[in-house]
């Protein structure tokens, strides 16, 4: 299987500058064009294990990230994102090229992938059972997700949970985990063997860094998982790690609020969420210490077994 790493640096840059890098992430193929050398270098590190398709293969998304032209190249240079020739976002400072790439990839899926119910949630798996972690920014969702995947859980996604409309199973979309502000140092200390991008300051989300997905998570991107739990996490200083059951009706409403295409899917969206909530256990979860939080998830797994 051809991967980003097997291309080598020269071929990777040539594809990005020329016919495009056809990068497979889970069920999607994205044709990426970019002349930006720093972006190519970070892609080569963060996506080293990911499959690459040959030139001419069909792609779900066609994206381009390019630099400024004219005097802007020298005075506050920027990165521009284009999707199928359109520019859906304002340009960002050039050093935010990789975060922009990740946010753009999320946008492509959340706005276009209507063959799934797409929930704004992390999702991890162990022993074939998946835990969905929906939460607003600042809740500690990505920090908890990163900790779990560094303690034996498989990363299905940090940001986007893809629920099949036919059978309710979850299709993996493992990509680098986005960490912000204090979470960067916390996870670096917690998982010193993990690989991270250089932190980028002053983004719209503060300081941002990405943690590389494990090779196992990438290799198993074709293995769907059965949902077993929906856990709404919330980090609170000094809080004991504690689960509180959430009634099904309330869980349904909260999932609907976190789904990008719930309304668009109409009756299908309603029935998909209803089936999901009916098949899993639903909890609110407060925590402050990562080891304690992981012990709670291991206990959930043991109870299910």
Q: What is the pLDDT of residues 176-205, one digit of tens each?
A: 999 999 999 999 999 999 999 999 999 999
Rounded percentage of the chain residues whose pLDDT exceeds 70 = 98
Which of 66-80, 114-128, 213-227, 282-296 bottoms out in mean pLDDT, i.e. has the lowest?
66-80
How high is the pLDDT of residue 108?
97
Q: Provide the residue ranges of all domains of the chain, joining segments of one domain with +.
A: 4-112, 116-304
67 DSSP β-pair partners:
79
**Residue 277, by phi and psi: left (phi above 0), alpha (psi -120 to 50) or beta?**
alpha
Q: How far apart are the first and last CA of the chain?
A: 35
159-179 average pLDDT score: 97
- pLDDT at res. 69: 72
- Collect all residues with Cβ–Cβ distance below 8 Å to 154 and sequence separation of at least 6: 124, 125, 126, 172, 174, 214, 216, 217, 220, 225
* Contacts for 34 with CB less than 8 Å, ≥ 6 apart: 16, 17, 40, 64, 65, 66, 97
Helix (H, G, I), strand (E, B) or coil at 165: coil
Q: With bands split at pLDDT 50, 70 and 90, how would you rate the model's confidence at 136?
A: confident
Separation CA 49–CA 274 (nearest Å): 36
Rounded distance between C-alpha atoms, residue 262 and residue 273, angstroms = 8
Quote the mean pLDDT of the chain.
95
10-54: per-residue pLDDT in tens?
999 999 999 999 999 999 999 999 999 999 999 999 999 999 999
Angstrom distances, CA of residue 108 to CA of 50, 81, 103, 190, 218: 18, 12, 9, 31, 19
CATH code: domain 116-304 is 3.40.50
Report how far residue 28's alpha carbon sits from residue 248's, in angstroms, rounded to the nearest whole number. Answer: 32
């Amino acid at each position: 299987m051809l991967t980003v790493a097997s291309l080598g640096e020269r071929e990777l840059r040539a594809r990005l500058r020329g016919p495009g890098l056809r990068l497979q992430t889970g069920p999607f193929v994205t044709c990426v064009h970019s002349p930006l050398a720093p972006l190519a270098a970070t892609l080569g590190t963060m996506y080293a294990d990911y499959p690459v398709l040959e030139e001419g293969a069909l792609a779900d998304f066609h994206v381009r990230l390019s630099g400024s032209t004219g005097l802007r190249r020298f005075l506050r240079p920027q990165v521009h994102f284009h999707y199928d020739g359109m520019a859906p976002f304002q340009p960002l400072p050039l050093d935010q090229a990789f975060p922009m790439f990740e946010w753009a990839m999320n946008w492509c899926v959340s706005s276009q992938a209507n063959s799934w119910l797409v929930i704004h949630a992390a999702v991890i798996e162990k022993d074939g059972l998946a835990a969905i972690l929906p939460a607003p920014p600042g809740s500690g969702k990505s920090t908890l997700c990163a900790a779990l995947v560094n303690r034996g859980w498989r990363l299905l996604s940090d940001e986007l949970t893809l629920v099949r409309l036919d059978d309710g199973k979850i299709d993996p979309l493992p990509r680098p985990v986005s960490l912000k502000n204090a979470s960067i140092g916390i996870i670096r200390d917690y998982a010193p063997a993990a690989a991270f991008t250089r932190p980028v300051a002053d983004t719209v989300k503060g300081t941002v860094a990405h943690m590389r997905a494990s090779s196992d998570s990438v290799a198993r991107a074709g293995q769907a998982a059965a949902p077993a739990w929906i856990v709404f996490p919330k980090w609170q200083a000094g809080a004991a790690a504690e689960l509180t059951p959430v009634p099904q009706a309330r869980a349904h409403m909260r999932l609907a609020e976190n789904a990008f295409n719930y309304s668009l899917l109409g009756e299908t969206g309603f029935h998909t969420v209803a089936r999901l909530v009916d098949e899993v256990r639903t909890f609110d979860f407060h925590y402050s210490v990562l080891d304690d939080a992981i012990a709670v998830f291991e206990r959930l797994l043991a109870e299910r077994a």
